[in-house]
Chains A and B, each alone.
Chain A
Amino acid sequence: MYLRKSHQLVVGLIVFAVVSSVLTGGVVRAEYPEKPITLIVPWPPGGASDVTPRSLLKTMSEELKQPVVIVNRPGAAGVVGTLEMERAAPDGYTIGTYSYSQTLTNFTAPNPPSLANVVPVAKVMYSPATLTVNASFPAKTLAEFISYAKANPGKVRSSNSGKGASAHIFGEAFDRMTGIKQTHVPFNGYAPAITAVAGGHIEATCIPVGDVHPMVKAGKMRILAVAMQERHYLYPNVPTMKELGVNLDTGNWVGFIAPKGVPEAIVAKLDRAIEKALKSPEVVSAWKEMGNVTTYLNHKDFAKWLVPHAAETRALVEAMGLLAAPKK
């Protein structure tokens, strides 16, 4: 009897362990992470979507006591790296960055990634879209710009980062909001699109604050308005579009995600490390220069925010006629 009782205890413990581990979706070892974590960035190194997560790595690695290593997997407007992240083992050792551009590819790409395949970890930054013009453009205010564009339909050209890419969506959304018609000229990414405006070849662009900032600082371009709720800290004298009666609140955001199936305990741990990194003085000062607005959302709030955001994005893409044909 005595022996059988001890057996029962052992069996009971095993059952408890198995059931609880199934319920939590995998055994969470107290010591996660026990090896380096790979962060897939689906963009080439150097751009804002690479530099932003990169600047967090140092503190994140210290927090997690394991190095977090970036692997850049650029290609197909972020789709290549995003799909690779979606397919990675859901053990928390491969995570990725997500952004507005990747959300767009859910609806525009011929081989789209899907938000259904990922779990949000944390949203970290926001860079609002702008209306920025070449320094010598006649219009000095947003109202002047709109009336100029209305008087000269199609003559105002707006540079963007490729058809269906973020800056194109911002530009088209601005057109819809204001009832003007700009000629949208696609470039291969933000850098050449900005250079074209700075050089006076193109009149305007809707590229976000952080990216146009150097050229604006250099006096080659002027920001007429920013598309966010309150004024941007780098440009306290530049009005928001909302103040001027254009209800456009859009821009780039960057967050972290993990493949679907990563246990919540691991997501939470990553989330805490990211939150900590956002508060480190080095990150705060570097982001200030970059024009990044810190908009931290923890994994739960990020997930809640993402659902309506994706729906809005889809609606906009559909209204612009850029929705990818469904795959057979």
Chain B
Amino acid sequence: MDILQGMITGFAVCLEPTKLLACFFGVLVGTAMGVLPGIGPAGAVALLIPLTFHMDAASAVIMIAGIYYGTQYGGSTTSILVNIPGEAASVITCLDGYQMTQQGRAGAALGISAFASFIAGTVGIVGLMLLAPPLAEFALRFGPPEIFALVFLAFTLVAFLSSGSMTRSLMMVVLGLLLATVGQEAITAIPRFTFGSVDLQSGLDLVPLIMGLFGISEVLLSLENMRHGEGALTVRPTPRFWDLLPDRRDWKRSAGPIGRGSLLGFLIGLLPGGTGIIASFGSYAIEKRISRHPEQFGQGAIEGVAGPEAANNGAAQGAFIPLLTLGIPGNAVMALTLGALKIHGIVPGPFLIKEHPGVFWGVVASMYVGNILLLALNLPLIGIWVRLLKIPKSILYPLIIFFCIIGTYSVSNSVFDVGALFVFGFMGYLLRRLNFDLAPLILGFILGPILETSARQSLIMSEGSFGIFIGSTIAAVLLGLSAVVLGTAVYSELRKGRLSRGLETLKREMEASQDKP
């Protein structure tokens, strides 16, 4: 009954005209920032947070929340249309989303991504409303060893990420890990690969990496294609609006991925350090693993869009739970939200619901409103986005470069990062010309430091005993799962005969070399 009463309070708060406006403005700006390559949720919120200081606390958080889940909606748009993720969590959406566009199915991809976001958002809000306090307790049980085990499990999923050769994927993971080692490491503060540069001391930033590897390299690749007189996208004549949307078959294929993605995203969003990107990669890997036609992944499988897009939106809602109920900011955006609340003299924690019911329930209720607004906003936009593809590349690509630069610069107002953007751009171009898949690189780059730090923290905590990794049930279960995942991957490789064939070749070669005198 408390919840019902709370929700009534909440809707009364969030339907006030000023709050409604804050919500609408938040989701509108969030979508726009998400669509623009380079500006992700953290950048968008950081840019707009000064606006919230003149509002009351509830409006401020309603707006920030709107910006946050709005960017998750918008982030997939450019992934699908031009193969450039609008923000980090949408990297994986490029794989199948862009393939769908090339098959003339951009509308269906955008449509399913909007619906998936809406459904996952709603699942997340219901979870937030009903289960916030117990779930927050669960999140607290993740200490360094548990985080290590979770990230280890995420790494094993690489096995299912790539459509091509496993060796090449692993090479990219390792490259990502190497890039992530640049900078002062977290345990002993020793600078690695900084060559005396202050800018490198805090390491390479994710935004120039993603925007360079995906954005700039995409432009370079198409330049090359244009020179050879190819590469013009085949856009079918603009069909009627309803024909753009996903059809019944798409829905049938997407229902499962959306459901699983929503749940997975929500759970991962809860955890400290859990972000949209782990959720979306995880969802993609799971869908590919359990799919009856895994070979279609990477070739335009709609499941590869629906699942991850649901997952990153679920994560966006889940992340609010530890913040609002315990005052723990799980990621950069939540840290910003915490700051905004503090400026208004509100310290989030278990007392928030009692002391500031208007803020807590107002924010939860506004998420329902915001999600509906986003769906209403995004569906009609699909027609416009699809038409965007008709913009001549001579205009579109300079614009993309422009937005990549602005987005990169806005992260920490750094010219160095803009330089890094172009270096990564050329690197991405070379790697893609050599047919390397870049998604595993991003995974390695993001997860590597978490894995290293949590492993070393755990070992400091246990005074060097490795027992700590199986000392807690959560860590033991997660590591057990990793073993199962690795085991099945090896087994299926064996069954395909690749491994045994490989071994035989090796054996033959060795025998041949032994035969030589």
Query: Do the two chains bind?
Result: yes
A218 at the B interface (CB under 8 A): yes
- For A77, the chain B residues whose CB sits under 8 A away are 184, 189, 202
Whether A214 contacts B332 by the Cβ 8 Å rule is: no
Considering only residues 190-239 of chain B, those with a C-beta below 8 Å from chain A are 191, 194, 196, 198-199, 201-202
Q: When A185-B460, A201-B143, A215-B349 are in contact, do A45 and B339 touch as well, CB less than 8 Å?
A: yes
B202 touches A192 (CB 8 A): no
| Nearest-neighbor residue (CB-CB) of A214 within chain B | B327
Return the chain B residue nearest A217 by Cβ.
Answer: B349
**Complex formed: what's the CA distance from A290 to B460 in Å?**
32
Residues of chain A contacted by B342 (CB below 8 angstroms): 48, 51, 286, 289-290
Q: Is B431's CB within 8 Å of the partner chain A?
A: no
* B326 near A215: Cβ-Cβ < 8 Å: yes
Asked if A79 meets B351 with Cβ closer than 8 Å, knowing A46-B336, A202-B461, A289-B342, the reply is no
Do B349 and A46 touch (CB < 8 A)? no
The answer, yes or no, to whether B15 is at the interface (CB within 8 Å) is no
Residues in A with CB closer than 8 Å to B327 are: 214-215, 218
Interface residues on A, range: 35 or more
Q: Does A25 contact B (CB under 8 A)?
A: no
A110 x B201 contact (CB < 8 A): yes
| In the complex with contacts A45-B49, A162-B189, A187-B328 CB distance below 8 A | no
Residue of B nearest to A282 (CB): B345
Contacts of B140 in A (CB 8 A): 195, 198-200, 220
Contact with A along B334-372 (1 / 0, CB 8 A): 011111101111111111000000000000000000000
Bound together, the chains give a CA A185 to CA B49 distance in angstroms of 33
Q: Smallest CB-CB separation from B338: which chain A residue? A: A46
Distance between A57 CB and nearest chain B CB, rounded to angstroms = 8
Across the A-B interface, how many residue pairs have beta carbons closer than 8 Å?
159
A46 and B53 CA atoms in complex are apart in Å by 13
Dominant secondary structure at the A interface: mixed
Q: Closest Cβ of chain B: how far from A104's Cβ, in Å?
A: 11
Q: How many angstroms from the CA of A23 to the CA of B20 in the assembled complex?
A: 57
As a 0/1 sequence over residues 57 to 93 of chain A, the CB contacts with chain B under 8 angstroms (1 = contact) are 1100000000000111111110110010000000000
Find the residue from A71, A108, A289 having the highest chain B CB count within 10 A: A289
B468, chain A: closest CB distance, angstroms: 10
Is A255's beta carbon under 8 Å from chain B?
no
Residue total for B at the interface (Cβ-Cβ under 8 A): 54
Report chain A residues within 8 Å CB of B143. Answer: 196, 199-202
From residue 17 to 74 of chain B, which have CB atoms closer than 8 A to chain A? Answer: 46, 49-50, 53-54
Q: Which residues of A contact B188 (CB under 8 A)?
A: 163, 186
Residues from chain A with Cβ under 8 Å of B121 in the complex:
none
Measured CA separation A289–B343 after assembly (Å): 9
Q: Which residues of A contact B144 (CB under 8 A)?
A: 185, 196, 201
Chain B residues whose CB sits within 8 angstroms of the CB of A70 once the complex forms: 50
Q: Is B347 a contact partner of A183 (Cβ separation < 8 A)?
A: no
Taking a contact as CB atoms under 8 Å apart, the answer to whether B201 and A76 are in contact is yes
| Contact flag A218-B184 (CB < 8 Å), given A71-B413, A196-B144 | no
Q: How far is the CB of B44 from chain A (nearest CB, A)?
A: 12
CA distance A185 to B186 in the complex (A): 10
Choose among A47, A110, A191 the residue that contacts B191 (Cβ–Cβ < 8 A): A110
Other than A71-B413, A111-B201, give 18 A-B pairs with Cβ distance below 8 A: A44-B335, A45-B49, A45-B336, A46-B338, A54-B343, A75-B199, A83-B198, A157-B460, A162-B186, A183-B460, A191-B335, A195-B140, A198-B328, A201-B144, A202-B461, A217-B349, A290-B342, A290-B345
A-B contact pairs, 22 of them (CB 8 A): A44-B332, A44-B335, A44-B412, A45-B335, A48-B342, A54-B343, A75-B198, A75-B201, A80-B199, A108-B189, A110-B201, A183-B463, A185-B457, A186-B187, A186-B460, A188-B453, A198-B326, A199-B141, A200-B140, A201-B143, A217-B350, A289-B345
Closest 7 CB pairs of A and B: A201-B143, A214-B327, A76-B201, A75-B202, A46-B339, A46-B335, A199-B140
Question: Residues on B close to A: CB < 8 A?
Answer: 46, 49-50, 53-54, 140-145, 184, 186-189, 191, 194, 196, 198-199, 201-202, 272-273, 326-329, 332, 335-340, 342-351, 412-414, 453, 457, 460-461, 463
